[in-house]
Structure 1
Amino acid sequence: MSAMPCNVDVWVDDRDDGTFVIYIDRDLITERGAGALQQMLSTTVTGWRRLDDSLVYATLRAVTG
């Protein structure tokens, strides 16, 4: 993806349906690297969990403004 929001290099869209999409600036990753990242994320997905407690949100607000 080019022209990332807020000029960031990586953007994660956490969707209401429990899925998320990772966007990475094209200048930062090759097609081979993107495939490897997708494979790595797909094999570890069963161990993921969403952290929705107040500390996570407070930290995110502190970092992102």
Structure 2
Amino acid sequence: MSTTELAWYKSSYSGSSGDSCVEVAITEQTICVRDSKDLGRPHFAVGRSEWSQFVGFVTEG
């Protein structure tokens, strides 16, 4: 799936000054992540269960 076909959402934790913008796009099988300040770089994608593990790890500190 190309980047233009994805519906990107800015993280609610990104600063309002635009200096730390992370965007995610959710597909049926993956979570895609990109840096909105540098759209020329490729995004990365991880499986839903791996994303859940990552979010769980981050929220537990």
With structure 2 as the length reference, what TM-score do the two structures score?
0.32
Structure with greater helix percent: 1
Q: Which has the higher strand share?
A: 2
TM-score of the two chains, using structure 1 as the length reference: 0.31
Structure of greater Rg: 1
